[in-house]
């Protein structure tokens, strides 16, 4: 009786292992087959998307803004070369010609560099813009307050007794 249970257990384990292998290897095999079918595109895309791969490996923060900015610029620069490949035969010789062209490398890696630059400069530019807009809003509110004070008189406070949040936080 013990051997029958052991045999049944072994069969279940084999089936579970076979399912795990087929689940894990299935997408990989399909991807490899698809890559072989469109080999020239795979070659150009693999070489062209290296900066995005590097950004993915370097970017540890969620939601990976560095990777997103580099990938967007990288794809924008890569698509014209893939378009050229697709419209002119999609063969390996043309893929090698595209990859061997210095201007291809300059365009793809230059655009990826712009993606890195955007990632590093946009937060400070956006902060400056928001600060400018806040100061402009304060000026408009002060002008509106002055108009109301002129119309209503002393019933409208001038705001001098209001303590700014930054000063209140440092005083406490």
Q: What is the pLDDT of residues 50-88, one digit of tens each?
A: 998 888 888 788 888 888 899 999 999 999 999 998 898
Average pLDDT over residues 147-164: 71
62 and 145 in one domain?
A: yes
Q: Are 93 and 40 in contact (CB under 8 A)?
A: no
Q: What's 59's DSSP letter?
A: -
79 and 7 in one domain?
A: no
Q: Are 104 and 81 in contact (CB under 8 A)?
A: yes
89 and 43 in one domain?
A: yes
Question: Cα separation of 81 and 97, whole Å?
Answer: 11
Average pLDDT over residues 3-19: 65
For 6, the domain range is 1-31
Q: Per the domain annotation, does 167 fall within a domain?
A: no
| Between 21 and 72, the higher pLDDT residue | 72
Q: Domain count of the chain?
A: 2
145 and 100 in one domain?
A: yes
Q: The whole model's pTM is what?
A: 0.60
86 and 25 in one domain?
A: no
Q: What is the pLDDT of residues 96-138, one digit of tens each?
A: 999 999 999 999 999 999 999 988 898 899 999 999 999 999 9
Q: Are 44 and 95 in contact (CB under 8 A)?
A: yes
149 and 94 in one domain?
A: yes
Q: Per the domain annotation, does 164 fall within a domain?
A: no
Per-residue pLDDT, 103: 94
């Amino acid at each position: 009786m013990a051997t029958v249970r052991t045999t049944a257990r072994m069969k279940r384990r084999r089936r579970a292992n076979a399912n795990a292998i087929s689940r894990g290897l299935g997408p990989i095999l399909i991807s490899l087959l698809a890559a072989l079918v469109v080999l020239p595109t795979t070659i150009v895309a693999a070489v062209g998307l290296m900066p995005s791969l590097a950004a993915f490996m370097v970017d540890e923060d969620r939601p990976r803004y560095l990777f997103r900015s580099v990938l967007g610029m990288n794809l924008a620069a890569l698509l014209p070369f893939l378009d050229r490949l697709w419209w002119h035969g999609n063969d390996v010789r043309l893929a090698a010609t595209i990859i061997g062209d210095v201007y291809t490398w300059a365009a793809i890696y230059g655009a990826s560099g712009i993606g890195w630059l955007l990632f590093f400069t946009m937060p400070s530019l956006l902060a400056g813009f928001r600060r400018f807009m806040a100061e402009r809003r304060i000026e408009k509110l002060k002008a509106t307050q002055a108009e109301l004070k002129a119309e209503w008189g002393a019933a409208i406070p001038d705001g001098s007794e209001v303590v700014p949040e930054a000063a209140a936080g440092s005083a406490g």
